[in-house]
């Protein structure tokens, strides 16, 4: 259940098209870095938000920059985060013109008990799925 919150000073002509493409890229990257038994996160569980932040500064300048928060109950660990970071920064450089030294990606792995969805929690949803 990945949740991604992107803040950037790179203005987009079509934020909805960007979010759709970004969601698909995240989905593919997520699947490529998970073990086979964890491939249970369909695209419909991925939540993405884009915020244009004209006044976002990084390293004291207003050159293109970003802050990305990624929260997920699965698929985040030291090895996977390095791969996610590489793929995400590659995407941002191509689509936003933001270099990999012009922002941060913060990875958060909350307990399934702390993610609410479908009038319950991720813990209860995952507990009810057959192995």
Determine the pLDDT at residue 97.
Answer: 96
Domain count, the chain: 1
Q: Which domain holds residue 122?
A: 3-128
At a CB cut-off of 8 Å and minimum separation 6, what does 65 contact? Answer: 8, 9, 10, 56, 57, 58, 59, 98, 102, 103
Determine the pLDDT at residue 49.
Answer: 87
Tens-digit pLDDT profile for residues 21-36:
888 777 666 555 543 2
Q: How far apart are CA 103 and CA 68, in angstroms?
A: 8
| Residues of the chain below pLDDT 70 | 1, 27-43, 129-131
CATH number of the domain where residue 87 is located: 3.30.429.10
């Amino acid at each position: 259940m990945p949740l991604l919150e992107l803040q950037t000073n790179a203005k987009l002509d079509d934020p909805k098209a960007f979010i759709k493409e970004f969601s698909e890229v995240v989905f593919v990257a997520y699947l490529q870095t998970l073990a086979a038994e964890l491939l249970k996160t369909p695209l419909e569980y991925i939540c993405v938000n884009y915020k244009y932040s004209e006044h976002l500064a990084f390293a004291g300048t207003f050159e293109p920059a970003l802050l990305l928060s990624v929260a997920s109950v699965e698929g985040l660990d030291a090895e996977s985060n390095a791969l996610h970071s590489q793929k995400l920064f590659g995407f941002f450089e191509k689509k936003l013109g933001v270099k990999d030294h012009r922002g941060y990606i913060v990875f958060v792995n909350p307990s399934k008990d702390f993610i609410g969805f479908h009038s319950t929690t991720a813990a209860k949803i995952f507990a009810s799925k057959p192995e």
